[in-house]
Structure 1
Amino acid sequence: MPVLRSRLDPRSDTYRANRTAQLAALAALHEQLDLARAGGGERYVERHRARGRLTARQRIELLLDRDAPFLELSSLAAWGTEFTVGAGMVTGIGPVSGVECVLIANDPTVRGGSVNPYSLRKNLRALEIARRNRLPVVNLVESGGADLPTQAELFVPGGRVFHDLTELSALGIPTVALVFGNSTAGGAYIPGLCDHAVLVAGRAKVFLGGPPLVRMATGEEADDEELGGAAMHARVSGLADHYAADEYDCLRIGRRIVADLNWRKHGPGPSRPPDEPLYDVDEVLGLVPTDLRVPFDPREVLARVVDGSRFDEYKSEYGAALVTGWASVHGFPVGVLANARGVLFGEESRKAAEFIQLANRSHTPLLFLQNTTGYMVGTAYEQGGIVKDGAKMINAVTNSTVPHLTLNIGASFGAGNYGMSGRAFDPRLLFAWPTAKLAVMGAAQLAGVLSIVGRQAATARGIAFDEDVDELRRGAIEAQIERESHAFFVTARLYDDGVIDPRDTRTVLGIALSAAHSAPVAGTTGYGVFRM
């Protein structure tokens, strides 16, 4: 297979400027990740530990295999909102007893582990990832239930957690609940709906209504233990399958349960040499221009991500604004679609549709590297059929059944986001670099369009157009779109599965591909009608 040759000059002013900008973005990212890892803050963490309890992240670390990688998901959920960064929950993918699992852990140092609208979204996304990739789920439960002031946003969509846990069981995807503390109200159904439930003696409390609610509803006086303690559920109700002596015992039992699943992947294992790229991964920080309107060659990214920097390009002379070809990451074959010059023309769209069909015929997963401003506009392009060509590409992306992984490395604007397998098109996993942007279009372009529309409306009504007001409005709109297209704003709303350090791209993709191969990997020959 051909090997990519890098033309990157690490001594150039452009490289140094790009690297400086990326490092600044990474510093901001790590600052927010530190906030997420801090949970409810030092005071509440220390109070939790003083009670002899492990934190959510300590539980995860002890549950995972020794020195195993853990791909954390949605780390900055709820960023910029009234809720704690991370949304009071930790989710991710990691091996337990040699089995790749989705882990979902309440953080009891954040409002007692209560569920808010963002932690609900985070939970549901983790369950969706488990279903799509056929990964067992381990819930590490300690939660006081719903965040009552936001119950209006929780009650109806919250039922989806029950639905999804039940569906996973029906699909033969195991679910495990390790209950360390409160699991009350709707949360009581988590161990009830999981295939396996382990409750910690003297700590776990599982009941639909606690003592105060029972007293108000029925007049009955009952204490926590007789109402929903671990001993009662182990000996009387039968809810507990295993009665753990303490948290460590609970985690040990959880590992044993997963080991006894006799779990087997349905997808093929790595089939290519997983050798390291030829170029220093650290150089990836100097690749992305500080001005996202300036294109860059995605082959330089691939040269630092794919195995041995090997890349067999497809149609290299045709539709050059989109790079397509074959490679592998950690031994897993992939078909790559990467934007080279931002705009998608008719040729690029047709090339993409053909390439996606070929990948499905060979049952090869697809990797989308987004850096697009969307499909080309203008009279010549409309007359040339850009709508039909873009529709072909979107049709192919929609109906493709091989796993899709998507990474936003620059800009993801307009329908180009859809054609490059954005969130609405159900990629198995989707990540972004810290400087990436996501919006209907660039901030200046969007503000300019609204200005033109306003000017035309004024002319149509025969009134004067106020240039000063327009200038203020354009500035406000640009600032709004810049804020709303920022990587942190986007990931906070779970429009991706996390913002990652560009230097971790190869590792993240390797874990994601391995997880995707837990499910069958099979292409399709069935597509919708391609408008010719």
Structure 2
Amino acid sequence: MSNLAGPVTGTARARVAEGTVLRSRLDTNAGQYRANRVAQLAILAELEGELDKARDGGGLRYRERHRGRGRLLVRERIELLVDRDSPLLELSPLAAWGSEFAVGASVVTGIGVVAGVEAVIIAHDPTVRGGAMNPFSLRKTLRALDIAKRNRLPVVNLVESGGADLPNQSDLFVQAGKIFHDLTELSSLGIPTIALVFGNSTAGGAYVPGMCDYAVLVDQHAKVFLGGPPLVKMATGEESDDEDLGGAAMHARVSGLADYFATDERDAIRIGRRILSELNWRKLGPGPTLAADPPRYDPDELLGIAPADFRTPFDPREVLARVVDGSRFGEYKPDYGRSLVTGWASVHGFPVGVLANANGILFSEESKKGAEFIQLANQTDTPLIFLQNTTGFMVGAAYEQGGIIKDGAKLINAVTNSSVPHVTINMAASFGAGNYGMSGRAYDPRFMFAWVNAKLAVMGAAQLAGVLSIVGKAAAAASGRPFDQDEDDARRDTIERQIAAESHSFFISGKLYDDGVLDPRDTRTVLGIALSAAHSAPIEGRRGYGVFRM
């Protein structure tokens, strides 16, 4: 069912500003709306509690000890670095959630504007085990560097780390070398990298300022060396101190590692901002080209649209009416493949194509419609937004005989080979191969986020437990042994609880399968930042595709 008020006037991409305005039919007094809103607010309160843990770093004791040494906290450094009143899109703030490591994984990453330049920021939190790197902070750092590379964003490293968390070295050593690889690759691509060294940068970590294009070291605080005094003493018998081995003055005047000598932390941040301002940096993608007027409907109402139970269907046009510019949406093929909504819009002035699941199931018609729409977006170099709410591709004899596999393959082929930026948001559910067809993490969207109540798994918890039960009954019958119903019920309950926990948005984001969990009301802002970042690089669509199975 379409909520459009009338036909689109003009070609979809070029004249989306003239397109039909979505007309909301949302009843904010309905019981379902109120129940959804209550559930969303409750889990948002839980999210805020987890984010507080990340912001808390190593806790009050370690924060006070850090300040007692005359140091700024990591988020204070970031606040001074970015332009005043500019937004910061923090990435992976729930990294390591549910693990033995601190929420946030001892590093803060994000996209912010520094001296007018959009940049990726990677900042160690020295209040968490001295900023030591654990397996999750490694993955978080590598993801930030990947975002910088694919979106052509300069990188600012705020360095203060004791290096690898040695008890976990077996999960770190091999892959940690990719940090150095990625820093040097960024430089080779002409993407600037800057290191502001506030404290320890030892052992392998010493190569971070060594491999960045610019290095700023803070006097009496920066310690950059491959081996500290105890290791040097053990290896060579030489007596030395921190300043002789790796102090800022030595590196500025003797080794030449430091390009700039900072008298204190604020001076280092000032110098870092100056470096960004002197890059003569230019975005290579087109700027916003359409009217960026706000939606006609209140984004606060998204809390009542997002379902408390992912099995409850909702119309994604109601979401678009509260996210896209002016609530304008030029729908493509509205009467064909109706459980996948496709069409043209803009977000903060950036033209986009949208693919949004309606009732959750992808049939052959939806698969072919989606594949064709992705090709059209690539023909016009238009970025794509995927709004996921899918339980996967349809199953059953009629659908198998009708070609659901080869039609699903068309959609996955189109997603795989599409070269325009993809930004994916899981609004409610992302199960099975539907996750792949809607540009899930394995398909390298530029950015991927999830609404706070979203689920991600191979299938729903109850369905997965039920499938295993059916398999168990069939195995018992085939072997001629009795089937223990009580044991099966207990097993089903255990599995269902396990999958429900593992599909939770906090769990998924903790493993860095997305770039963060969102309050639905922030969707438009996050999309705007992501699209602006993507336009730092050229926006070029794919003109040729692989073989489509007809």
TM bin (shorter chain) = over 0.9
Alignment correspondent of 2:197: 179
Residue 30 of structure 1: which of 30, 41, 48 is its match? 48
DSSP 3-state at the match of 1:415: helix
DSSP 3-state at the match of 1:105: strand
CA distance in structure 1 between the partners assigned to 2:518 and 2:227 by the alignment: 41
CA distance in structure 1 between the partners assigned to 2:227 and 2:478 by the alignment: 63
CA distance in structure 2 between the partners assigned to 1:159 and 1:295 by the alignment: 46
CA distance in structure 2 between the partners assigned to 1:261 and 1:458 by the alignment: 69
CA distance in structure 2 between the partners assigned to 1:24 and 1:445 by the alignment: 26
Alignment correspondent of 2:323: 305
The runs of at least 4 aligned residues of structure 1 exceeding 3 Å deviation read: none
Whether 1:452 and 2:438 are equivalent positions in the alignment is no
Whether 1:79 and 2:79 are equivalent positions in the alignment is no
Whether 1:50 and 2:68 are equivalent positions in the alignment is yes
Deviation at residue 28 of structure 1 after TM alignment: 0.4
Residue 64 of structure 1: which of 82, 85, 94 is its match? 82
Residue 91 of structure 1: which of 109, 131, 135 is its match? 109
Alignment correspondent of 1:225: 243
Whether 1:517 and 2:516 are equivalent positions in the alignment is no
Residue 36 of structure 2: which of 18, 21, 24 is its match? 18
Residue 131 of structure 2: which of 103, 106, 113 is its match? 113
Deviation at residue 154 of structure 1 after TM alignment: 0.3
CA distance in structure 1 between the partners assigned to 2:195 and 2:215 by the alignment: 5
Q: Aligned partner of 2:378: which letter? A: N
CA distance in structure 2 between the partners assigned to 1:188 and 1:182 by the alignment: 9
1:108-147 equivalences under 5 Å are 108-147=126-165
CA distance in structure 2 between the partners assigned to 1:454 and 1:298 by the alignment: 38
Deviation at residue 213 of structure 1 after TM alignment: 1.0
CA distance in structure 2 between the partners assigned to 1:35 and 1:380 by the alignment: 50
Whether 1:529 and 2:547 are equivalent positions in the alignment is yes
CA distance in structure 2 between the partners assigned to 1:26 and 1:230 by the alignment: 44
Deviation at residue 301 of structure 1 after TM alignment: 0.4
CA distance in structure 1 between the partners assigned to 2:306 and 2:529 by the alignment: 24
Alignment correspondent of 1:236: 254
1:344-363 equivalences under 5 Å are 344-363=362-381
Q: Aligned partner of 1:104: which letter? A: I
DSSP 3-state at the match of 1:438: strand
DSSP 3-state at the match of 1:512: helix
Alignment correspondent of 1:5: 23
CA distance in structure 2 between the partners assigned to 1:12 and 1:419 by the alignment: 33
Whether 1:379 and 2:410 are equivalent positions in the alignment is no
Deviation at residue 30 of structure 1 after TM alignment: 0.4
Alignment correspondent of 2:120: 102
Whether 1:441 and 2:459 are equivalent positions in the alignment is yes
Q: Aligned partner of 1:38: which letter? A: D
Deviations 1:137-169 (A, max 9, x none): 000000000001100000001011011001000
DSSP 3-state at the match of 2:157: strand
Q: Aligned partner of 1:492: which letter? A: G
Q: Aligned partner of 1:307: which letter? A: D
Alignment correspondent of 1:260: 278
Whether 1:318 and 2:332 are equivalent positions in the alignment is no
Q: What is the count of residue pairs matched by the alignment?
A: 532
Deviations 1:305-330 (A, max 9, x none): 00000000000000000000000000
Residue 368 of structure 1: which of 386, 390, 408 is its match? 386
Q: Aligned partner of 1:518: which letter? A: S
Alignment correspondent of 2:439: 421
Whether 1:411 and 2:413 are equivalent positions in the alignment is no
CA distance in structure 2 between the partners assigned to 1:222 and 1:466 by the alignment: 71
Deviation at residue 289 of structure 1 after TM alignment: 2.2
Alignment correspondent of 1:491: 509
Between 1:220-229 and 1:287-296, the stretch displaced more is 287-296
Between 1:211-220 and 1:11-20, the stretch displaced more is 211-220
Whether 1:338 and 2:356 are equivalent positions in the alignment is yes
1:476-487 equivalences under 5 Å are 476-487=494-505
CA distance in structure 2 between the partners assigned to 1:154 and 1:390 by the alignment: 38
Residue 208 of structure 2: which of 190, 205, 220 is its match? 190
Instruction: Tell me how large the CA RMSD over aligned residues is.
Output: 0.5
- What is the TM-score normalised by the length of structure 1? 1.00
CA distance in structure 2 between the partners assigned to 1:397 and 1:324 by the alignment: 14
5+ residue gaps in structure 2? 1-18
5+ residue gaps in structure 1? none
CA distance in structure 1 between the partners assigned to 2:182 and 2:436 by the alignment: 26
Deviation at residue 175 of structure 1 after TM alignment: 0.2
CA distance in structure 2 between the partners assigned to 1:114 and 1:26 by the alignment: 30
Deviation at residue 529 of structure 1 after TM alignment: 0.5
Deviation at residue 117 of structure 1 after TM alignment: 0.4
Q: Aligned partner of 1:503: which letter? A: R
CA distance in structure 2 between the partners assigned to 1:280 and 1:290 by the alignment: 19
- What is the TM-score normalised by the length of structure 2? 0.96
CA distance in structure 2 between the partners assigned to 1:500 and 1:444 by the alignment: 25
CA distance in structure 2 between the partners assigned to 1:121 and 1:290 by the alignment: 31
DSSP 3-state at the match of 2:518: coil
CA distance in structure 1 between the partners assigned to 2:134 and 2:331 by the alignment: 46
Residue 409 of structure 2: which of 379, 391, 398 is its match? 391
Residue 161 of structure 1: which of 179, 182, 186 is its match? 179
Q: Percent identity at matched positions?
A: 75
Deviations 1:171-222 (A, max 9, x none): 0000000000000011000000000000000100000011111111111111
Deviation at residue 119 of structure 1 after TM alignment: 0.3
DSSP 3-state at the match of 1:478: helix
Deviations 1:327-377 (A, max 9, x none): 000000000000001000000000000000000001000000000000000
Deviations 1:385-419 (A, max 9, x none): 00000000000000000000000000000000000
Deviations 1:215-267 (A, max 9, x none): 11111111000011111100110000000010000000000001111000000
Deviation at residue 524 of structure 1 after TM alignment: 1.1
